[in-house]
Every structure is written in C-alpha cells, then in structure tokens.
Amino acid sequence: MDSKTLVLFEYRRLDYSWKEIALALNYANAHSAEVQFQKGLSRALKRIKSYARPPRENED
C-alpha cells in the first residue's frame, strides 16, 4: 500500500469520517478522499495478485 493510501487507512481505522479526512488532508470533498482510497486499495490488490502462484496440478 502506498503512503497516501496508508494514511487514509489509518484515519479510517481511527474512525474518522470521510468528511473529516477530506478536511484534514485537503481533498476537495469526502467523495474524492474515498475514491482515492479505493484506487490505492485496487493498486495494492493488483500487486498482491501478481505474486499469486498458479494452481498446482494433482500431485498424487
């Protein structure tokens, strides 16, 4: 997870609302902060999935 996404995650973990986060981090509004968080999560998930091993064949 990149540093911006991690900061957003920490604010949410501490139970801040998206509106409070947007104000604290100078986002235009709550929705844009939430969208940036979702984009960061998607990028992190994509990186994680790229390391996934292919399924194994039966090894009987």
Q: How far is CA 24 from CA 19, 28, 45, in A?
A: 9, 11, 26
Total-model pTM: 0.81
Q: What is the pLDDT of residue 28?
A: 97
Per-residue pLDDT tens digits of the chain, which is 60 residues long:
899 999 999 999 999 999 999 999 999 999 999 999 999 999 999 999 998 777 777 765
Residue 22, CB half-sphere, CA atoms under 13 Å: how many?
13
Contact 38, 8 (CB under 8 A): no
**Residues in contact with 20: Cβ distance below 8 Å, sequence separation at least 6, in sequence order:** 11
Nearest-10 crossing angle of helices 3-13, 30-50: 120
Q: Domain extents for the chain? A: 3-50
Q: What is the pLDDT of residue 40?
A: 98
Amino acid 2 reads D
Q: What is the pLDDT of residue 60?
A: 57
